[in-house]
Structure 1
Amino acid sequence: MPIADRHTPPPRRIAIVGAGLAGLTAARTLVQAGHAVALFERDARPGGRLAGWESPYGSFDSGAQYFTVRDERLRRALDATGAPCRRWSANAVRVLDPAGRLVEAALPGLEPHWVAVPRMDALPAHWAAPLGDALHRGTTVVRIEADSLQPGRWQLRTQGEADDTAVQAGFDAVLLAVPPTAARALLAPVADGLARQVADVRIAPCWSLHLAFAQASQPGLPHLGPQWNCARSTHHRVAWLARESSKPGRGAIERWTVQASAEWSREHLRDDAARVRAKLLRAFAEITGILATPTLAEARLWTEAKTETPLGRSHLWDAKAGLGVAGDWCIGHRVEDAFVSGLELALAVA
């Protein structure tokens, strides 16, 4: 046997729970290192907070609105994979006072904003494609257990979309790339120490409102309301607004996404969607001056949206137990935080 082979660790079978950007990054990295990966995602599409929604009037980015590229490793990954991403000319970001009046014309030194095309979920879909059958969609992991037939390994109890249950066994390691609430629930029965390390992470909820104005697609009426494409707002109800139709690769019908502030979302966490829709629509009119009745108005709730108290390190990895944790919430709330977390966990495992 060649000397070099003596130092090459044997391939392992690794389960990853969650196919958001952290889980996908970890999966791709480990596959490239020669390991066998099984990636479990409860939803029909991968992506996590890189979510999109197709309405009769065009698409919406229902989760993350854009991403930045501060880490050179993310830039190289995007280039190497031919990721379907384009720069968004969001260089007219405004800051608004609580009454909705413009108080600052533009944020100085705004870094480039990037979006996937035609929706934000196109990036995770592109990165998931090479994984093929290793990605198990519509599969919820409900429990991690010691493998009943192979000592020293793990098995997962899963539930499918039709409530069918199964046991996936023979894993040398299990990596969790899910929100902290789900990570704590899965870890507590088998690794209480890891679960306790996640206990102090806090993520705020977010109500979002998606609006379409079909009348604004008529010739000679390029858009409604203000001249800017997005705004960080200090209105007591709204933290962020974006003209979805200004993003590259989107349709021409005027569409907006309005994201409520963390404080307001928390206060109205148990409100029904109709009540939230009415309140956010009023706030949208106050901020933008758009008084037209929208053709579509859809309110949606993210129970865990933006990290307020992160873990404070890029990942957790217990090599002896073969258990690890990753997610944007380990570092912060940016899309590239998820990429960095998943990458650094995979490098620690590999």
Structure 2
Amino acid sequence: MNQTNTTTKPVQKFAIIGAGMAGIACARTLMQAGHRVTVFEKSRGTSGRMSTRTSAFGTFDHGAQYFTVRDARFEQALATTPNICKPWSANAVRVLDAMGRVLEAARHSEDKHWVATPGMNALVKAWAQPLVQTDSIHFESKVFKIERDTLQPSLWQLHSEEPEGAQSVFSGFDQVLLAIPSDQAIDLLRNSNINMEKAAALNKVQVAPCWTLMVAFPNAAQPGLITLGPQWNAARSVHHRVAWLARESSKPGRGHIERWTVQASAAWSQEHLEDAPERAQAKLLKAFSEITGIRATPAHAEVHRWRYAKTLQPLGATHMLSKKQGIGLCGDWCLGHRVEDAFISGLELALDAL
């Protein structure tokens, strides 16, 4: 064995909580650096808000609708999966007034819009494959407590709720990195009696919820009917209920059946956060018809509530890390709400933790 390299750091064991873009970007960076990584994800799969919902009529990107590429490191990472990401023109994103009329002066965007294919979840899933193949991701595993390892007090152990009410303890971690929404991070640290350095900054972060409506109109695909409703494929709206609309079938790699994803405004979502899904769906369907002029009853309609969706007040730093404690935090909320923000946050935390 070559002993000449005296600067090589010992292999560390990392626990990463959350398998969205930030968590996977962090995990893959640490794994590529030769460290041992275990990811804990409370849901059944990766991707977080880069999610794709499957229906009998096709898929819906019911979380992040697209992403931009501004950072060279993000561009370099995307180049590792060249066949997954495609540009989406969306006929230039429109901006609508409350009546659904196009404000022509504000219709063009400087950033190119990109989507993953065949759904937005494909990118994070691809990047997570090395972790999946080595059984380094525990799905349906909700970490509810972090504490010092019983046998090795200098290390950490995690308590997790598993399927069917079971609980597990995972031990021996040098560092624990949280890639979850800021409010969830605050709760987990509080439940664990961990007073993280500069934790007061977390309380200033504000993240708004979002109700998302998904509708499908299979009859619009009949011969002789090219499209249903407006002749644009994506729009921002100042309607008090709706902030964004997108024709899913206009995105590359999707099916041809007419499908729309409608995302509610932050203010309306906050006001109606605890509404029953049926009530939120009815109100958003009404707003959708008002904006688009589509009065037909959809063959498929459902809603999803994102409790943490759009960052209103970010942390103002790429991440948080207490090297002394071995506790770190990352997420899009550190910088903003873009997919790219999540990537940069996870990457920077990993590089700082090395």
TM-score, structure 1 length as denominator? 0.97
Q: Name the stretch that deviates more: 29-38 or 182-191.
A: 182-191
What SS does the aligned partner of 1:298 have?
strand
Distance 2:231 2:322 in 1: 51
1:136 to 121, 135, 138: 138
**C-alpha distance 117-174 of structure 1, shift in aligned 2 (>3 A):** same
Residue pairs, 1:207-222, within 5 angstroms: 207-222=211-226
Show the counterpart of 1:86: 86
Show the counterpart of 1:145: 147
User: Contact 1:310 / 1:329 at 8 angstroms: preserved in 2?
Assistant: yes
Amino acid at match of 1:116: A
Distance 2:256 2:342 in 1: 31
TM-score, structure 2 length as denominator? 0.96
What SS does the aligned partner of 1:6 have?
coil
Amino acid at match of 1:120: M
User: Contact 1:187 / 1:194 at 8 angstroms: preserved in 2?
Assistant: no
Distance 2:301 2:8 in 1: 56
Show the counterpart of 1:171: 173
Deviation at 1:162, TM superposition (A): 1.9
What SS does the aligned partner of 1:66 have?
coil
What's the CA shift string for 1:275-311, capped at 9, x where partnerless? 1111111111111111111111112111111000101
Distance 2:235 2:126 in 1: 29
What's the CA shift string for 1:227-260, capped at 9, x where partnerless? 1100000011110000011001111110001111
Extract structure 1 runs of 4+ deviating beyond 3 A: 1-4, 192-195
Residue pairs, 1:296-307, within 5 angstroms: 296-307=300-311
Amino acid at match of 2:174: D
Q: Name the stretch that deviates more: 111-120 or 73-82.
A: 73-82
Unpaired segments ≥5 residues, structure 1 = none
Amino acid at match of 1:40: F
Distance 1:193 1:199 in 2: 13
User: Contact 2:196 / 2:322 at 8 angstroms: preserved in 1?
Assistant: no
Show the counterpart of 1:290: 294
Distance 1:16 1:39 in 2: 5
What SS does the aligned partner of 1:211 have?
strand
Q: Name the stretch that deviates more: 249-258 or 110-119.
A: 110-119
**C-alpha distance 83-313 of structure 1, shift in aligned 2 (>3 A):** farther
Unpaired segments ≥5 residues, structure 2 = none
Is 2:64 the partner of 1:64?
yes
Aligned residues: 350
Show the counterpart of 2:254: 250
Amino acid at match of 2:339: V
What SS does the aligned partner of 2:77 have?
helix
**C-alpha distance 106-192 of structure 1, shift in aligned 2 (>3 A):** closer
Residue pairs, 1:147-296, within 5 angstroms: 147-188=149-190, 189-296=193-300
Distance 1:168 1:196 in 2: 28
RMSD over aligned Cα, in angstroms? 1.4
User: Contact 1:206 / 1:301 at 8 angstroms: preserved in 2?
Assistant: yes
